[in-house]
Amino acid sequence: MILGELRRNAVQRLRDAGVDSAEADGRLLLMHAARLDAAKLISLEGSEAGADVAASYDRLIERRVSGEPVARIAGEKEFWSLRFALGAETLVPRPETETIVEAALAEIEDKSRAISILDLGTGSGAILAALLSELPNAEGVAVDKSEAALHTARENLRNLSLGRRVSYVCGNWASAIGGTFNLIVSNPPYIASKELALLSPEVRVHDPLLALDGGLDGLDAYRVIVHQLGERLVPEAKAVLELGQGQEEAVSALVKATGKLSVAGRARKDLAGIPRALIIHVKR
């Protein structure tokens, strides 16, 4: 069978299974099975597919039909136009998390300054890598509770040629870290435990629980992180935390209750209009 025909059949199969992104997923998984980039795939659509390619494409399509997210099947996801490998212990980077990167960059006037960045719960390293890619003289510390996630982050930063500017610490938020930073970023787990069951299977089954479960009210991680921020920020520094939907007031209240920190205006909204990035500074 020719490649284009394989692809069209697979897309139809995905559509029949109710996959919204059938066209895009069918194309991406074929690129994967045939080891071709997008341009090559287009130019080779009329050529015969090898039996091995057809068989491996069929297996990938079968996984998608049974509900596995395309990023998990491909083992990678694009974020901030950079490519990140994924592991079982890393979240798939979400487009709304780019709001954290935008908010943080907007706080930094001189992009060429040598600043220090701390990323708490780095996962695949997506936020830190995006920031370092825009801040040529910045250095970062990536923290994660999961050794496996840190391993994935390290590989990703190395592949993006950013590895020399990063050190890695396995630990519980900032407890294993000393010193101060110019910028602290985090996308902590923020789903209330009882709401985990309501998440789509793509998230519930395939994203790591450690990166999702925010405890009884979803705010457990913020309670710890917000308390650690005061000691880790230099006086003019900022922290940018990702928020779950509807958490702006509650997290702002935690910030104010420290007595040492303030929130800088309203949270920056993501593309869906949801307040997503809360900016925090040391009280002046």
Nearest approach, Cβ of 243 to ligand GLN (angstroms)?
Answer: 9
Nearest approach, Cβ of 208 to ligand GLN (angstroms)?
Answer: 10
How far the first Cα of the chain sits from its last, in Å, is: 69
Sign of CA dihedral 43, 12, 14, 21: positive
Nearest approach, Cβ of 265 to ligand GLN (angstroms)?
Answer: 22
Q: Tokens for 263, please give them.
A: 């929130």
Closest CA to 124 of 105, 99, 148, 140: 148
Q: What is the dihedral of CA 31, 41, 21, 51, to 10 degrees?
A: -60
Nearest approach, Cβ of 222 to ligand GLN (angstroms)?
Answer: 11
Which residues of this chain interact with ligand GLN, rule CB under 6 A?
91, 94, 187-191, 203, 212
Nearest approach, Cβ of 242 to ligand GLN (angstroms)?
Answer: 6
Of the pair 99, 182, the CB lying nearest ligand GLN is at 99
d(CA 214, CA 193): 6
Q: Tokens for 196, please give them.
A: 């985990």
Of the pair 97, 156, the CB lying nearest ligand GLN is at 97
Of the pair 156, 187, the CB lying nearest ligand GLN is at 187
- 120: helix, strand or coil: strand
Side-chain-facing half-sphere of 196: CA atoms under 13 Å: 20
Of the pair 187, 228, the CB lying nearest ligand GLN is at 187
Nearest approach, Cβ of 110 to ligand GLN (angstroms)?
Answer: 30
Sign of CA dihedral 155, 147, 68, 80: negative
Of the pair 99, 187, the CB lying nearest ligand GLN is at 187
Of the pair 140, 189, the CB lying nearest ligand GLN is at 189
Q: What angle do CA 101, 106, 111 make, to 5 degrees?
A: 90
